[in-house]
Structure 1
Amino acid sequence: MRHLFYLCLLFHSLLLASFHSTAVSLSAEQAFVADLTRQITADELVELPLQQQSFLLLRREAMTSYTKGTAILLPDGSEHAASPKHIDTLRQQLNDYGWHTLALMPPTMPADIVADDVLADYQQQLVARLNAAQQLAQQTPGVTIIIAQGSSAALLNQLYASQQLTEPAAFIMLGAYLTDTALNRQIAKALATHQVPTLDISHQQDNNQVLSQLRLRRQLVNKHMKPVYRQRHLSGSGYNSDVQQWVVQEIYGWLTSVGL
């Protein structure tokens, strides 16, 4: 009996070790993809090929008799393509306003993003995914707009300033920030120097790095006379459903005001 007990204990330990090994071998992006593949309708799942590896995006068509264009959505580097913080709501509700939506899975954000070589490599991964998504967007009529969140918004903002990405018709930033203070200040400088019409949305409960730079962004935008920029600071959190509906209306209203 004791011998059988030890055999069962050994078998249980081996199972735990095997499970731990599998979990460790999966990247955060792979784990997100596995979850979304189980939860999202199959006709919304698209795997776009790249030179090194493919990546997942979620595609939905406009639900109107007219088409304004395509909204490409990029969540924060720590989130997934159906992020409950704005992205999932926007990718579904913008269809009712004439927009096709493409929600991209971002590359997993590295821990040491402040290192120059790591940052440059991660930005090139973003460029590759955005270029692939924009090529897909060109298959449908209308303009392309970009809605990005958190770290992804901050990095795309810099890529537009350095002209490493094709400029969209409009750029919406949701709580754009980077955790490093020096890099975070560069967001304001980049924002003021590129000419993409920009809506900059933040919340009271956003990261302090977001809130600390809002005044500087306004100052530099005014200094450099950026032609189309609006900053909106809202109450609450991006995870709250009422706030998410507010943001949908803010985006719709602003796009209408700039002719989109």
Structure 2
Amino acid sequence: MTSPAQAQLYATSQSATIPESEISTITIDGKDTTVLRRSWSGKNQFGLMVIVPGSEDHKQNAGLIGYLRHQLNPKGWATLKLMPPAGLYRPNFATPSEEIAKEGQSQITLPAHQAVPKFNSEQLLEIRNFQQSTLTETLSQLADIGKPYPGARVLIAMDDSAAMVTHLLYEQKIPMPDLLVLINPYREHEHLVDKANQRKSVSEELVMMSVPTLDIYSADAHPLAIKTAQMRKQYNQIKPNKYYRQYFVHLSLSNEGGWEEVLDRIEGFARVVIGR
């Protein structure tokens, strides 16, 4: 358990500059990409945990991801934190002035409860394919960075990145870890893209893989992560407890109480799976 003093020290450290010794660089698609690396500390040296944030999480050293990056080290784990998989673009669909309807012309209307769509299915597919390609190339380049940390390999992924990682593992495009941790996994606009391309859901992909999986979701998760949680559990409860566990975190992942609970779950399940 993290003491109040440790929690305060960690919170204070988030505003500090990341030491140069923790910064590594890899080249993805001709561009330099930062990877944050921290070694294990203490007497235990279990292996390496690779942390993949959600695509919207651009905070280098804060929140749950930053907390895990630091607090797993004294538990005997080195950590590598990747940059979030970026999309090709974020279209704003601004209407050119010459296209604005003149008085008397009919306007496009949507029901009050329906959000204005930001992407069409082709754009969504293009963005996702680009993100997955980038993530595949990134993970394939981590072997050299991880060489100083022999032992077990754990892959931790959050939010939409958790769904991307699941698909890449299912497609055998990235190396299979010893343990997979998914935190609030979801695929946005799955009904637009996956059905059109006959892609399986996260639940279906997970049940067809033998990697031990810890499935964590929280009360403040993306609505799709919460909506599909029961389905993920139903599909995968046929597996032995060592190969699939789902936990609901009651506390918000925006506060340290929730972070601590996630850390405890990861550490506990890693002990069961890896036997240390």
Find the counterpart in structure 2 of residue 49 from structure 1: 27
Cα distance in 1 for partners of 2:17, 2:120 equals 30
- TM-superposed CA distance for 1:81, in Å, is 6.1
Cα distance in 1 for partners of 2:186, 2:205 equals 12
Give the secondary-structure state (helix, strand or coil) at the position aligned to 2:30: coil
The amino acid that maps onto 2:234 is: Q
- TM-superposed CA distance for 1:187, in Å, is 1.1
CA offsets 1:120-151 (integer angstroms, 9 cap, x no match)? 22211000011112342134211211111111
- Whether the aligned pair in 2 keeps the contact of 1:171 and 1:199 (CA below 8 Å) is yes
Any unmatched runs of 5+ in structure 1? 1-35
CA offsets 1:26-48 (integer angstroms, 9 cap, x no match)? xxxxxxxxxx9x83111111111
CA offsets 1:63-108 (integer angstroms, 9 cap, x no match)? 1223111111110011136353311000000000111111011232
CA offsets 1:221-252 (integer angstroms, 9 cap, x no match)? 13577960000011122111111011111111
1:221 aligns with 2:236: yes
Cα distance in 2 for partners of 1:118, 1:44 equals 30
Aligned in 2, Cα 1:101/1:227: closer, same or farther, shift over 3 Å?
Answer: closer
TM-score (norm 1): 0.79
Give the secondary-structure state (helix, strand or coil) at the position aligned to 1:172: strand
1:142-161 matches, within 5 Å, as 142-161=151-170
1:234 aligns with 2:244: no
1:178 aligns with 2:171: no
Cα distance in 2 for partners of 1:155, 1:215 equals 19
The amino acid that maps onto 1:158 is: H
Cα distance in 2 for partners of 1:49, 1:245 equals 33
Give the secondary-structure state (helix, strand or coil) at the position aligned to 1:49: strand
- Whether the aligned pair in 2 keeps the contact of 1:75 and 1:83 (CA below 8 Å) is no
Aligned in 2, Cα 1:113/1:153: closer, same or farther, shift over 3 Å?
Answer: farther
1:100 aligns with 2:54: no
**Mean Cα deviation higher: 77-86 or 188-197:** 77-86
TM-score (norm 2): 0.74
Any unmatched runs of 5+ in structure 2? 1-13, 91-118
1:210 aligns with 2:220: no
Aligned in 2, Cα 1:167/1:203: closer, same or farther, shift over 3 Å?
Answer: same
Find the counterpart in structure 1 of residue 18 from structure 2: 40
CA offsets 1:40-65 (integer angstroms, 9 cap, x no match)? 11111111123522210111110122
Aligned in 2, Cα 1:131/1:226: closer, same or farther, shift over 3 Å?
Answer: farther
What's the Cα RMSD here?
Answer: 2.5
The amino acid that maps onto 2:252 is: S
Aligned in 2, Cα 1:83/1:47: closer, same or farther, shift over 3 Å?
Answer: same
Find the counterpart in structure 1 of residue 125 from structure 2: 116
The amino acid that maps onto 1:117 is: E
Cα distance in 2 for partners of 1:217, 1:202 equals 11
The amino acid that maps onto 2:249 is: L
Aligned in 2, Cα 1:135/1:220: closer, same or farther, shift over 3 Å?
Answer: farther
Cα distance in 1 for partners of 2:63, 2:182 equals 13
For this pair of structures, how many residues does the alignment match? 225
The amino acid that maps onto 2:201 is: Q
Find the counterpart in structure 2 of residue 82 from structure 1: 60
The structure with the largest helix share of the pair is 1
Cα distance in 1 for partners of 2:205, 2:39 equals 32
Find the counterpart in structure 2 of residue 197 from structure 1: 212
Cα distance in 1 for partners of 2:240, 2:150 equals 31
